[in-house]
Chain A
Amino acid sequence: MNAPESPADRDALLRDLAAVLPPSALLVEHEDLKPYECDGLTAYRQLPWIVTLPADETQALAILRACHKHRVPVVARGAGTGLSGGATPVAGGVILSLAKFMRILAIDPLACTARVQPGVRNLAISEAAAPHGLYYAPDPSSQLACTIGGNVAENSGGVHCLKYGLTVHNILKLRVALIDGTVVEIGADALDSPGYDLLALMVGSEGMLGIVLEATVKLTPKPQVAQVVMASFDDVIAAGNAVAAIIAAGIIPAGLEMMDKPATAAVEDFVHAGYDLSAAAILLAESDGTPEEVAEEIAAMKSVLAQAGARDLRVSQSEAERLKFWAGRKAAFPAVGRLTPDYLCMDGTIPRKHLAQVLTRIAELSTQYGLRCANVFHAGDGNLHPLIMFDANVPGEVERATEFGARILELSVDVGGTITGEHGVGIEKVGQMCVQFTREELEAFHAVKAAFDPAGLLNPGKAVPTPRRCSEYRLTGSAQGAK
């Protein structure tokens, strides 16, 4: 890679950084670097070379210019909650932490927008907008901790994106630093701007095209009320068909989530939400809007679900009960975490009609690899999160879990879906990119990267594999698979 090898280079870079940063914002000692060695994907660790903690734009740009000058890779980092290794350090690289960029710069209640620094937490935006009856709609389950800069980098979703969209649908403007320290404004306070849609390109680019210095996000009027129906099914296929039936009835629920039996068991034990433990699948379907609208939609969904074979239907009777029904779904990852020393969270999206086939195959793979798997599913938009349970201390289990995960992602591609719906490719799924895309398509991605970052210094090695990496993957990855 581009990392300088000799200590002389390191000293030269450190001198340049020390000239623009106070000592407290420049970490070089092993014990200071240690907390940055991984993000939410803890299975992969790499000690960074240097960690920088700029306090303002001037410092951030100076860091980029210094790294650009010395040809040293830069990895941007927000809260480090990402699940795909997007913020995992690069060997011989610098971490640019945006932790100090935590100011909400403006809330405009008339325009329904918020202008924020990248280190502002997702939920903090909604909290700041609440007095105006507004909120920021995308709600990844890490929303308490994850930052908007990271959300932009990953195009984060959540449980309400079927109705309210992903990050890409809720960002109006970005102030972005390019690797050479140039600042560009992408998007506008208007609804569109001339030229190519660079905003769409920047959202979900995993810190590889530029670094977000400021984001203007869209705020949504808070619905007056919300209610959720919880339905139990005797088999997952019926539950999947029920989802299709709701859509076919012309309803776009605010949230539409499914959990299979192992997932339900894990969360019920954790949050005591009153889930039906004997059901093969549980569906949560939420409606929001005016009281009249919600009453109408809940009645319609109840009737569709009953016809689709739901054996038990419960409607939340209070806001407390609604939150209780959701608590289990939102806590699914930590709940599964209690059952197992380690787990891998997959993130494929599939056309929903293939749900039965995919879940059946996952069950077979679970037997084949001898590892338990619980499934939580953003049923409305086809985004499936199988949680593969394993114990890293048992020899061979990490490898088996990784292979099991790879097979699930390949299966998602086979049925016409994608390897990642909302968590990003990072380092975790870079191998499976070779399954989803052809050599020519990957070349096009590299060309897009080079258009922004010709020296390949921003988050190198993530998201888009090299041809060599793909050759290796084809030899060692899918060749062993049980496709």
Chain B
Amino acid sequence: MSDQMEMFSERIRAASAEKPLCIRGAGTKDFYGNALRGEALDTRGHAGIVAYEPTELVITARCGTPLAEIEAVLAEKGQSLPFEPPRFAADSTIGGVVAAGLSGPRRASAGSLRDYVLGVLLLDGNARELNFGGRVMKNVAGYDVSRLIAGSLGTLGVILEVSLKVQPQPVADVSLRFAMSQADALDRLNRWRGQPLPIVASAWADGALTLRLAGARAAVDAAQQKIGVGETVPPGFFADLRDQKLPLFSAATLWRLSVPATAPALDLSGEQIIEWGGAQRWLKSDAPAETVRAAAAAVGGSATLYRAPAEPKERIGAFAPLPAPLLGLHRQLKAAFDPRGIFNPGRLYREL
């Protein structure tokens, strides 16, 4: 294990609003959010698994620990991170995974990354070492700051260490594919959602719906009889979806629409991959940003400019704008943890 906390603290003390810090692991998610600003604070040197108790279903690791190392250690005990964060490269760090807050294909059934965060050790804007949450599954002492940190894109502090809940890997895991239109797929997914079926992931793309069934052998077998056998799914399809390696993800401009799962097919030009039972829609489109944002908002969701050139991202922001009272709360929270405004300024919102 390597310890860089002293170095981090010194860098924090030396930083200022004029000379902010850009907290960065392997940089595999540099594309995500607004432009990077500030001097790089490399977190990779603060690494190592601090504790792993398979029978407690908890792992604790330092921020610079590679996600690949954590997953390998879990796999040895037949466990995994059910939220399946994207693995953009072998050296993606767990600190970056938590800061970005991205969840993979099983999100709708297994829960999101933040659902699995149990505790965070944080260095705040005054280099104070703060421990929130812990290594136990039920903990309501104090505000749930560790889950607030998940997905905050490093704007509230340097994540030193994180504790995550883990789960056993499913015994049975099969993928099925059925040719059908987007509207038909959304309709089927709506009807299956309320049934006790082990559908853990779904993806509609290119005129076909691919399902992943996982869980107890008996439950998966029974569900297959009910749903049908379907066509052969290319090996590694859901892994490629998870790691965003399917061709759509290399689009120069890619939107991530988070919408109610029951939202109908959206009237937007371009190509889509629909995940999470309809609740996550990836869109490659040249439609004006305002049109995409409005379409998502119209069905009660939001649109993130996930990958895009500086224009239009600089102009319209990576994330959908917040209503004024919510933005006010964000600014107050930012000031509470980073009063000098030194961490990843503007990465999430210009005002933070």
Contact = CB atoms under 8 A, between A and B. Distances in A.
B212 interface: no
Interface string B33-74: 000000000000000000001111110000000000000000
B258 A351 contact: no
A252 B302 contact: no
Contacts of B148: 196-198, 200-201
Interface string B86-104: 0000000000000001000
A375 interface: no
A188 B258 contact: yes
Contacts of A381: 136-138
Nearest to A192: B258
B84 interface: no
Contact of B194 (A112, A188, A352, A378): A112
A133 B194 contact: yes
A134 B147 contact: no
B128 interface: yes
A436 interface: yes
A221 B196 contact: yes
A108 interface: yes
Interface stretch (A30-38, A160-168, A309-317, A364-372): A160-168
A109 interface: yes
Contacts of A378: 138
Contacts, number: 260
Contacts of A441: 130-132, 142
A77 B298 CA distance: 35
Contacts of A132: 194
B147 A293 contact: no
Given A134-B194, A168-B147, A195 B56 contact: no
B260 interface: yes
A219 B261 CA distance: 14
A204 B141 CA distance: 9
B56 A190 contact: no
Contact of B301 (A190, A200, A223, A445): A190
Interface stretch (B15-23, B233-241, B330-338): B330-338
A315 B327 CA distance: 54
Contact of B337 (A221, A224, A425, A444): A444
Interface string A432-474: 0100111011001101111110000000000110000000000
A353 B53 contact: yes
A108 B136 contact: no
B141 A420 contact: yes
A440 B130 contact: yes
B184 interface: no
Given A191-B258, A223-B196, A292-B218, A349 B329 contact: no
Nearest to B221: A292
A191 B276 contact: yes
B187 to A, nearest CB: 10
Interface string B199-211: 0000000000000
A224 B197 CA distance: 10
B140 A197 contact: no
Contact of B279 (A190, A204, A250, A423): A190
Interface string A189-214: 11111111110110111000100000
A416 B135 contact: yes
Given A201-B144, A293-B219, A351-B135, A451 B329 contact: yes
A445 B142 contact: yes
B17 to A, nearest CB: 19
Contact of A184 (B152, B301, B323): B323
A157 B138 contact: yes
Interface residues of B, number: 83
B175 interface: no
A182 interface: yes
Interface stretch (B3-11, B111-119, B242-250): B111-119
Interface string A220-235: 0111100000000000
Most chain B beta-carbon neighbours within 10 Å: one of A194, A198, A297, A422: A194
B56 A382 contact: yes
Contacts of A449: 143
Interface string A369-391: 00000000010011100000000
Interface stretch (B166-174, B266-274, B284-292, B308-316): B166-174
B325 A184 contact: yes
Contact of B193 (A112, A200, A382): A112
Contact of A248 (B55, B131, B150): B55
B216 A110 contact: no
B136 A382 contact: yes
B229 interface: no
A190 B304 CA distance: 13
A315 B59 CA distance: 33
| Of listed B136, B258, B260, residue having the most chain A CB within 10 A | B136
B25 interface: no
B221 to A, nearest CB: 7
Contacts of A161: 137-138
Q: Which 3 A-B pairs have the closest CB atoms?
A: A292-B218, A451-B332, A200-B147
28 contacts: A110-B194, A132-B194, A133-B195, A184-B329, A186-B326, A190-B260, A192-B258, A195-B330, A197-B151, A198-B326, A200-B114, A200-B144, A200-B147, A221-B194, A223-B196, A245-B55, A293-B215, A349-B136, A351-B135, A353-B53, A417-B134, A418-B138, A418-B140, A424-B140, A425-B140, A425-B142, A444-B132, A444-B337
Interface of A: 108-112, 132-134, 154-155, 157, 161-162, 165-166, 168-169, 178, 182-186, 188-198, 200-201, 203-205, 209, 219, 221-224, 244-245, 247-248, 250-252, 289-290, 292-293, 295-297, 349-353, 378, 381-383, 416-425, 429, 433, 436-438, 440-441, 444-445, 447-452, 463-464
Given A203-B144, A224-B196, A437-B131, 4 more contacts: A184-B323, A188-B260, A209-B143, A378-B138
